Structure 1
Amino acid sequence: MTKVAIVGYGNLGRGVERALAVNSDMELVGVFTRRAPETVATEGALVFAMADLIQQKDKIDVCILCGGSATDLPQQTPELTRDFNTVDSFDTHAKIPEHFAKVDQVAMENKTVSVISTGWDPGLFSLNRLYAESILPTGTTYTFWGKGVSQGHSDALRRIGGVADATQYTIPNQEVIDKLKAGAQLELTTRDKHFRECFVVLEEGADPEVIKNEIVTMPNYFADYDTKVHFISQEELNRDHKAMPHGGTVLHAGETAPGVHQVIDYTLKLDSNPEFTASVLVAYARACARLANEKQCGAYTVLDIPPKYLSAKTVEQLRVELL
């Protein structure tokens, strides 16, 4: 049994609890939160204060970190990796090399394992980009997200001063996708591929023009996209924009000979982004524990880990059932 602690209990933490319940080789030690434990209602998990985490060290094989990428994980992952094996879903693509280097140094110094940037993008989509480009080196890879709610982008909106609540949708350019599936190879800018649409509830007295400008110019999140911002009431946001659908597509258009077109198409359609992301985190928590049992240490990404480490099945079963 791999014994797991959930650190943070928002949408992602709840998803991890549900995912652990259907993985018979994983055991949930408890949820660790910065909130008052008595105020956190789980689906059966024990709840502890963050200050109690270190006291449970001998009972925990892996901590699954469920904070946000904007401010939580850059601090929390290296901090907790000093004492624990960790898995996170850090998803600010431009900052992954920096995050990896920081966590790797801590993990190497303390002989722990940390699997960073798991989920579906970065994560499963990263693997599919690697496979596609390796198989069809003469070609181009395109990644599209949505239509769906981005947890990371919504979290970034909610951290803006004057924003009470917010939801952000990523919307792919379907016309471009159809051309690529037909075998076209296009040179696309970030702005060509997606739109972003934000629904924002303002705190009393906040200036909508100031908030809008801060959103559309935010680096790594909105500055490179055509972004629409709608200011609405909390009631409307709760009614129409609190579901968590998402998905996306990795397309690779290439040739194996002049004029011989090949298209690789990998698509996800998700009713619940956080629950699916949580399921990926749990699979990589299993891999993290296995690496630690082998006395490995350092930071890893999905690109570094053999697929067999993700499965609860034996390698003999995998060869019979999946090959």
Structure 2
Amino acid sequence: MKKINAAIIGYGNIGRYVLNALESAPDFKVAGIVRREATPIEGINYPVVTDVTALKDVDIAILCVPSRHIKAYATEMLEKGIHTVDSFDIHTDIAAMRRELDVIAKKNNRSAIISAGWDPGSDSIIRTLLLAAAPKGITYTNFGPGMSMGHSTAVKAIDGVKDALSMTIPIGTGQHRRMVYIEIEEGLDFETVKSTILNDDYFKKDDTVIQQVDSIEPLKDAGHGVTITRKGVSGSTDNQLFEFDMRVNNPALTAQILVSTARAATKQMPGAYTMIEIPIIDLLPGDRDELITALV
């Protein structure tokens, strides 16, 4: 079996878990890690480079970079003839980014799967299935309580923030509060930094509470979760109630979904996709007939 040669782009929290998931997968091998500096990483024996072209025969790039940088990285990789997968999580921008990357992917005869984390991503599949089961009704997605990696990263990128943690607290019926804890650089004004955060796209539509702390470290916990509830109608039958619930290590699950979706990306026709558009069986390794026999 020819293994899929995967490059990890970015080696932060997600990148580390992606490496672990790739090493555990039977059909992948690690081509190397691309980061801003090509300094060796303790305990890592794979090539560490600053440009993906320094790696050999890369089939797919797994983008482990902040959401605001994903489009640029995806464009670069696709134009170099490399499939891509990412966990872009700015929900309101997903459709537009898919349209833009679709043109680039088709032009370069490659595929890109975007927003392949657990939400958006695998949770999107759950919501789609529940909609098919009860076409009329209401779905509520309640996140947390837990650390939001995307929101935490967004806060860390704001000038004056030394470190940050954004917690998502469910308050019911799909509504959430963002509890944001920040360390700020010495000499900077907390109220100025706070105002910038509140006006950021990640936070300006949410109920957000910001607190200054001396250190983020004692507050960190990678646990997260989601409960998806749909109450609706199947045909003309009322009172159909469905609930999906999970409690997870956030970066570990995101990384595993990225690796599974990277596998699927190599099986698609050229173009850009979200997870609800690809055959779910393509996420799995192994013989298709054997998978159908085991799972259907």
Alignment partner of 1:244 out of 211, 222, 228: 222
- Rounded to whole Å, the distance in 2 between the matches of 1:110 and 1:59 is 16
User: Are the counterparts in 1 of residues 134 and 235 from structure 2 also a CA contact under 8 Å?
Assistant: no
Alignment partner of 1:229 out of 205, 210, 218: 210
Fraction of identical pairs, as percent: 33
Q: Tell me which residue corresponds to 1:179.
A: none
Deviation by residue 1:233-262 (Cα, 9 ceiling, x = unmatched): 13xx11222x21111122111133778311
User: Are the counterparts in 1 of residues 63 and 87 from structure 2 also a CA contact under 8 Å?
Assistant: yes
Q: Give 1:217 deviation, angstroms.
A: 2.5
The one-letter amino acid paired with 1:87 is: V
The Cα RMSD (Å) is 1.6
Q: Tell me which residue corresponds to 2:196.
A: 214
Structure 1: 5+ residue stretches without partners: 177-187
- Rounded to whole Å, the distance in 1 between the matches of 2:159 and 2:141 is 31
Deviation by residue 1:32-70 (Cα, 9 ceiling, x = unmatched): 1112323x33x534132222x1133x5211110100102
Q: SS where residue 293 of structure 2 aligns?
A: helix
Q: Which moved more, 1:259-268 or 1:279-288?
A: 259-268
User: Are the counterparts in 2 of residues 169 and 196 from structure 1 also a CA contact under 8 Å?
Assistant: yes
- Rounded to whole Å, the distance in 2 between the matches of 1:226 and 1:55 is 45
Q: Which moved more, 1:309-318 or 1:115-124?
A: 309-318
Please identify which structure carries the higher helix content.
1
Please identify which structure carries the higher strand content.
2
The one-letter amino acid paired with 2:53 is: I
- List, as ranges, runs of 4+ consecutive aligned residues in structure 1 with deviation greater than 3 Å: 256-260
Q: Which moved more, 1:73-82 or 1:193-202?
A: 73-82
The one-letter amino acid paired with 2:252 is: E
Give the 3 Å change call, closer, same or farther, for CA 318–63 of structure 1 in structure 2. same
Asked whether 1:314 is paired with 2:287, we answer: yes
Alignment partner of 1:262 out of 236, 240, 245: 240
Asked whether 1:20 is paired with 2:22, we answer: yes
Where in structure 2 are the equivalents of 1:281-300 lying within 5 Å? 281-291=258-268, 296-300=269-273
The one-letter amino acid paired with 2:276 is: L
Structure 2: 5+ residue stretches without partners: none
Give the 3 Å change call, closer, same or farther, for CA 36–313 of structure 1 in structure 2. closer
Where in structure 2 are the equivalents of 1:129-144 lying within 5 Å? 129-144=127-142
Where in structure 2 are the equivalents of 1:89-168 lying within 5 Å? 89-168=87-166
User: Are the counterparts in 1 of residues 38 and 50 from structure 2 also a CA contact under 8 Å?
Assistant: no
User: Are the counterparts in 2 of residues 17 and 45 from structure 1 also a CA contact under 8 Å?
Assistant: no
Deviation by residue 1:261-309 (Cα, 9 ceiling, x = unmatched): 1111112211x21111000000011111222xxxx21111101110111
